[in-house]
Amino acid sequence: MDFELDADQRAWREEVRVFLREHVTPQLRAELAASDLEVLDGEVAAFRRAVGEKGWFGLNWPVEFGGLGLGPIRQHLLVSEFEYWGVPGPDLTVTSVAPMIMRHGTEHNKSEFLPPIARGELICAVGYSEPGAGTDLASLRTRAVLEGTMEDGEWVINGSKIWNSGAQRSTHEWLCVRTDPDAPKHKGISVIIVPVDAPGVTIRPLVAWSGYRTNEAFFDNVRVPATNLVGEANKGWRYITGALDLERGALTNAGDLRRAVDDLLDLARRPRRDGVVPASEPAVRRRLAQLDADVEVAKLMGFEAASMLADSIIPSIEVSTEKIFTSELRQRIAEVALDLLGPDGLLGHRTPDAPDDGRFERLYRIAPLMRFGAGANEVLRDVIAQRGHAMPSYGR
């Protein structure tokens, strides 16, 4: 096993860095700090257009689908660099929705949805969780009924979703619905792509403890063309689980963790208000060294998953393990940072005089969110036990 990048991969990483040095302007950073990506226009939108013009939203896609065909390793390197710089890169629409359309979609699905996704114009929120269903995604009750035929009919959709992150800045929903209420609960589910501006769709904000906005979404007699069904009716569970595995892999990229630990190492070398230099204490140095080593482990986990994708294998156990490890590591980084900062660490995000603009205080509040996003860690430990070690299910 070779743990080093080859010459082509290093050249690619440098090409991405050159792009970022050119396009990550002070104006873009100011807008990101002020808006948290909540805006649909402005510097963030201009940056996304620049990424789209490079063809990098379809970087990993086969050429036959309008992509560049450069493979998962290069995509992993690109996402790592974007996360290190703290700017928006290929989102879940690109990394988990589009691959499922390529694998399972109809020819109409591919021609209708893939080109605008590649241009960065079609952005999906993923509609999985429902009120009252807890972590059991298959207990969804949102219904879709077909009126007419698959050629010229319509799906009529009623129900609601919760924790519908990003819906306020999305153009469509990758919506999981029940299409056969009489089938076993994992067998009667389908996926339908729904424009968020369709009549009957309502998006309401939910603000988490971290200040992060997620949403409730309501669907009241929403009608979409029958051809918006992804793949085959009642086969959606397979598409959902595949997309979730890819989502976990995308969410666990260690680029932002590398940046957080680099910033923490820099912080530890600077004297606090009381004159103490944290790095002068052996116990502090040991904690920082452990975090630094753990980030390198997380990076290797990411390359393992990307290598599996390069072999046309969707990693499952691997990304579940990686997601648990990185989400718990993020929490430990935040805890060490607040210990180093002392009372100043309690100054909140966007508070005057907050060290590093309060980014570590915010990291502390947002870290728990990552422990249950894309599947709670407790559920993923069950996945590892059942899929990885053939242990029995207890019927969750």
Q: What CATH number was assigned to the domain covering residues 124-235? A: 2.40.110.10
Residue range 14-67, pLDDT digits in tens = 999 999 999 999 998 888 877 655 555 788 888 988 998 898 988 888 888 888
Say what the pLDDT of residue 361 is: 87
Backbone angles phi, psi at 88, to 5 degrees: -70, 130
Please report, for residues 226, 260, 352, the alpha-carbon distance to residue 341 in angstroms, rounded to integers and kept in the order given. 56, 14, 15
Does the pLDDT at position 6 exceed 60? Answer: yes
What's the mean pLDDT in 65-86?
Answer: 90
Annotated catalytic residue: which of 31, 83, 173, 247?
247
Q: How confident is the model at residue 396 (pLDDT cuts 50, 70, 90)?
A: low
Mean pLDDT of the chain: 88
Does the pLDDT at position 295 exceed 90? Answer: yes
Q: What percent of the chain has pLDDT over 90?
A: 45
Q: How confident is the model at residue 107 (pLDDT cuts 50, 70, 90)?
A: very high
Architecture of domain 252-389: Up-down Bundle (1.20)
Say what the pLDDT of residue 357 is: 78
Say what the pLDDT of residue 244 is: 81
Q: For residue 166, give the nearest of 65, 103, 97 by alpha carbon.
A: 97
What's the mean pLDDT in 79-95?
Answer: 89
Highest mean pLDDT range out of 222-226, 280-284, 308-312?
222-226
What pTM, to 2 d.p., does this model score?
Answer: 0.81
- Other C-beta atoms lying within 10 Å of the C-beta of residue 29: 14
Domain boundaries, the chain: 7-90, 124-235, 252-389
- Please answer whether residues 127 and 172 qualify as being in contact, where contact means their C-beta atoms are separated by less than 8 angstroms: no
Say what the pLDDT of residue 205 is: 92
232 is catalytic: no
